Structure 1
Amino acid sequence: MIKTSLYHVTALWHGNFRAMALMLVAMFGFSGVAVAAYGNVTKDSVVDPGILKIEEKAFLGEKINYDFVLQDENGADFELGSLLGKPLILAFSYYTCDGACSVINKNLNETLKGVERWEMGQDYNVLTVSFDQHDTPATLVDFLQKAGFKDGVPSGWTMTTMREKENIVKLTGSMGFKFFWSPRDALFLHPNVYIMLSPKGRVTRYLYGGTISPVDMELAITKAMGEKIAAANVIDFVVGACYSYNYEDGKYTVNIPLFIAAGALIFGLLLIAGSFSYMKFWRVKT
């Protein structure tokens, strides 16, 4: 059994902390992280929050495996792929969490209530998946109460556990989502993020829980729909093109370069049209 703590690793290899921390994670295995609660990591372990950061550029545009089998609160099995065909908002949580996870799901529910253009279940789906291998449909039901879903989640939203526990590593890893058990705090450390998937299952955006607004979510859904543009909603995609995601602020902002380019194009076309009209006028006059 490996008894060396992450704290000791930092003392020995201070200059390469992140690399060594990731090596230790690989040694323990993501699927064994929850087991750390039972003594695999000493209580003086320290985890650098930096290694929780999602390397977005490495995963944006990547297509996930949608053959994973999930279980809902009733224990019914279904494949992740059954929720695709339209944009999917995915949130990773764990159901024995006393704080952040219930808040993440509550906030998402409130945010989606402010999305006016698209309707959950009809235009997009929402999925909450537990990354804790010890979660079951029973702990999921308890979590629904804590997260404020006493009457169940809205239509189009599914909360699940993983049927095959070893697939937790594959699913979270395919999107760059990292999590660690902290014995000192007796909880999982993980990013509070909503992951937007396109109708074909490609990662299109990471939206962080503390900053997301209904407008940001609506734009993210609109842009995720880009794989299947229909004549009826071309205007929505034109509107979506007018905004770009600002990684520094974590929000969508007006795409100023696009407006500058469009303005320059219009000015150029007007100039050309004006020149032809002027030349035609003088030819007629002479």
Structure 2
Amino acid sequence: MTTVDRPTLTACAIVSLRLVLAMIMSLLIDSTAFAQRFTTGSPYRTPAGQSPTAELLRDIGIEQQLDSQLPLDAVFHDEMGRRVPLGEFFDHRPVVIALVQYRCPMLCSQVLNGFLKTSQAVPLEIGRDYQFIAISFDARESSDLAAEKKKQYSRAYRRSGAANGMHFLTGDQDAIDRITRVIGFRYRYVERTDQFAHASGLMIATPKGRLSRYMYGIDFAPQDLRWGLEESAIQRIGSRVDQILLLCYHYDPLTGKYGLAISNLLRIAGGLTIFGLGTYLAFMFRNERRRSKLFPAENRAILPMGASDSTLKELSQS
């Protein structure tokens, strides 16, 4: 039977763990350096926090303006190209509003897809119980593009009434500025990519056009949508919610893509690694103390390697 000196085994294990920890820390440092180079290297070549990306990110967001009155007299164009005031879509039903860019390759489509998925999971129906309005914040977009979007999402909704309850609007810059200013939607145009840096979310308004609820992100809980609509239907204004905007991914307006927030991921990974190693060390020392109580120091060298607690008890009683 193979025997190993128990103190020697413990010392070797500790040394091995220290080596593993050193390797992991080295990897984390290298990865952090890579993240720093990714942030400050080409095309930025500026210190982190001072890059054009950081400056743009400070200028975008969705500031909650609860109980603010929407500009119902602002004139937009519907999918048919007709000039219509925003108030035409407000009656006795609450309204869900999404500020999007129809040509947006990523985030805006995710917002619309997230709303579509959530709307299909609630008993309230578009057209019957509430209205949905998507408004493009890109003044260059046409009614033809809005019509394509309406056709796409009204078909995907697969419920009657979608054609009358879904509206995809475009407008001139003045109308867009009025609606975005009241909602608190701040965005920036990035000439290099011909795209907009912006945040994501939905707004719910009462039948009278007052902002009652904000829902952030691209994945919306069905119960939140239902409760928000039910409260809005009775003119009740909700409370402020935490802004959870793309926790793991951040928009890079200079490249037009979303990249993983490397520094946040590394902090999480490092914390989990340290916790795991600490737990393992605590387990080893606990077992070592248990063995020390069962066996005198002169007998530990003959303990079988990897012996279980039940085996140790049998040996201690023999």
Q: TM-score, normalised by structure 1?
A: 0.59
In the alignment, the residues of structure 2 paired with residue 199 and residue 71 of structure 1 have an alpha-carbon distance, to the nearest angstrom, of 21
Displacement of 1:130: 0.6
Q: For the structure 1 residues 160 and 149, does the alpha-carbon distance in structure 2 shift closer, same or farther, using more than 3 Å as the test?
A: same
* Structure 1 pair 90–246 and aligned structure 2 pair: CA distance change class (3 A): closer
Are the counterparts in 1 of residues 114 and 219 from structure 2 also a CA contact under 8 Å?
Answer: no
Aligned residue number for residue 107 of structure 2: 100
Correspondence 1:4-153 to 2 at 5 A: 45-46=52-53, 47-56=55-64, 59-85=65-91, 86-116=93-123, 118-144=124-150
> In the alignment, what sits opposite 1:172?
180
1:183 aligns with 2:178: no
TM-superposed CA distance for 1:112, in Å, is: 0.6
CA deviations 1:126-170 (Å, max 9, x no partner) are: 00011111011123234457x6556895431100111x4322111
Unpaired runs of 5+ residues, structure 2, are 1-42, 246-318
* Alpha-carbon distance change, 154 to 111 in structure 1, aligned in 2, over 3 angstroms: farther
Match of 1:221 in 2: 229
The one-letter amino acid of 1:112's match is S
Task: Find the structure with the greater CA-based Rg.
Answer: 2
Q: Does residue 256 of structure 2 align to residue 247 of structure 1?
A: no
Runs of 4 or more off by more than 6 Å in structure 1? none
Aligned residue identity for 2:166 = W
Tell whether the 8 Å contact from 1:205 to 1:220 is kept in structure 2 after alignment.
yes
8 Å contact kept, 2:114–2:220:
no
- In structure 1, stretches of 5+ residues that fail to align are 1-6, 18-43, 229-239, 251-286
Counterpart pick for 1:160 among 169, 181, 186 = 169
Give CA-to-partner distance per residue, 1:255-280, whole Å, 9 cap, x none.
Answer: xxxxxxxxxxxxxxxxxxxxxxxxxx
Distance 1:98 1:54, change over 3 A: closer
Alpha-carbon RMSD across the aligned residues, in angstroms, is 3.2
Q: How many Å separate the matches in 1 of 2:163 and 2:109?
A: 15
Once the two structures are TM-superposed, the CA of residue 245 in structure 1 deviates from its matched residue by 6.8
Task: Give the C-alpha shift of residue 213 in structure 1.
Answer: 1.3
**Amino acid in the other structure paired with 1:127:** I
Partner amino acid for 1:193? G
Paired residues in the alignment total 195
Structure with the bigger RCO (C-alpha within 8 Å, sep 6+) is: 2
> Are the counterparts in 2 of residues 45 and 184 from structure 1 also a CA contact under 8 Å?
no
Change (3 A) 1:100 1:120: same
User: Is structure 2 residue 196 aligned with structure 1 residue 196?
Assistant: no
Residue by residue, what CA displacement relative to the aligned partner does 1:167-224 show, whole Å, maximum 9, x if unpaired? Answer: 2111110110111112344321111110110111111111013341111100110111
Deviation string, structure 1 residues 80-130 (Cα, Å, up to 9, x no partner): 1121122110001112212221221122112111111x2221221100011
Change beyond 3 A, Cα 1:186–1:87: same
**Contact 1:96/1:143 (8 A) holds in 2:** no
Report SS of the residue matched to 1:216: helix
Cα pair distance change 1:102/1:149, threshold 3 Å: farther
Give the Cα separation in 2 of the matches to 1:143 and 1:119: 19
- When normalised by structure 2's length, the TM-score is 0.54
